[in-house]
């Protein structure tokens, strides 16, 4: 189970979370976001971290900007959170063959899951997030977990959308994602993480996964 903590902006918090047991750190590369962080600042943080996956989150960005941010920020993953097409994903895969490519799907209704098959040949990982008309992520809105129980994509996937330390056990009792993604659920304010909540989350993930494997 990979645990991704997204929307980091502060070096001390990134270092702390990377040593607490998180698998992936996410940096928001969308200027309109309150969690936006510049590529040069990402670089100063990633250089100070122990070995850990670091993803940049983009939305409808140009390929050149994504490449620049990946190189400058020393990122190991690119997460696309906009309306990027399968063709664009193929272009990124060609341009950045050694970077993990994640396509986020903002799910408004179950029919939206059908588009996963169009992207599967070009991405490494999917991420399911709750749809919001004005925000691309970090909304705190949850998905219908029971409705997702038949979701079996051919690629690994992250569950996102409204996850918190106090509901992660329920989510993982109903679903078996390959990873989870949290931002607002472990924050004080956008970009300011609550380390106590992160620690509680990681404890509850361990409990939930142990309980599931024991069944």
Q: Which residues are known to be catalytic?
A: 6, 129
Q: What angle do CA 204, 207, 208 make, to 5 degrees?
A: 85
Measured distance CA(75)–CA(55) in Å, rounded: 6
Closest residue by Cα to residue 6 from 41, 37, 49, 32: 37
Structure tokens of 183? 């931002």
- CA–CA distances in Å: residue 66 to residues 91, 108, 137: 11, 27, 18
Q: Helices 11-20 and 39-46: crossing angle, nearest 10°?
A: 50
Measured distance CA(162)–CA(164) in Å, rounded: 6
Question: How many C-beta neighbours within 10 Å does residue 62 have?
Answer: 10
Check if the beta carbon of residue 119 is closer than 8 Å to that of residue 103. yes
């Amino acid at each position: 189970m990979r645990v991704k903590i997204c929307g980091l902006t502060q070096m001390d918090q990134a270092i702390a979370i990377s040593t607490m047991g998180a698998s992936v750190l996410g940096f928001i590369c969308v200027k309109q976001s309150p969690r936006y962080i510049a590529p040069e600042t990402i670089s100063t943080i990633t250089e100070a971290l122990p070995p850990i996956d670091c993803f940049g989150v983009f939305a409808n960005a140009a390929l050149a900007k994504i490449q620049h941010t990946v190189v400058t920020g020393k990122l190991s993953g690119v997460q696309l959170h906009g309306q990027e097409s399968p063709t664009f994903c193929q272009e990124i895969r060609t341009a950045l063959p050694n970077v993990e490519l994640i396509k986020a799907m903002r799910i408004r209704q179950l029919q939206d899951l059908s588009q996963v098959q169009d992207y599967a040949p070009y991405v490494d990982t999917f991420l399911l997030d709750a749809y919001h008309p004005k925000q691309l992520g970090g909304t705190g809105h949850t998905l219908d977990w029971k409705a997702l129980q038949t979701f079996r994509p051919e690629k690994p996937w992250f569950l996102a959308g409204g996850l918190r330390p106090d509901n992660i056990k329920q989510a993982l009792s109903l679903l078996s994602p390959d990873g989870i993604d949290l931002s607002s659920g472990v924050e004080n304010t956008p970009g300011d993480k609550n380390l106590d909540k992160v620690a509680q989350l990681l404890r509850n993930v361990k409990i939930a996964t142990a309980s599931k494997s024991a069944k």
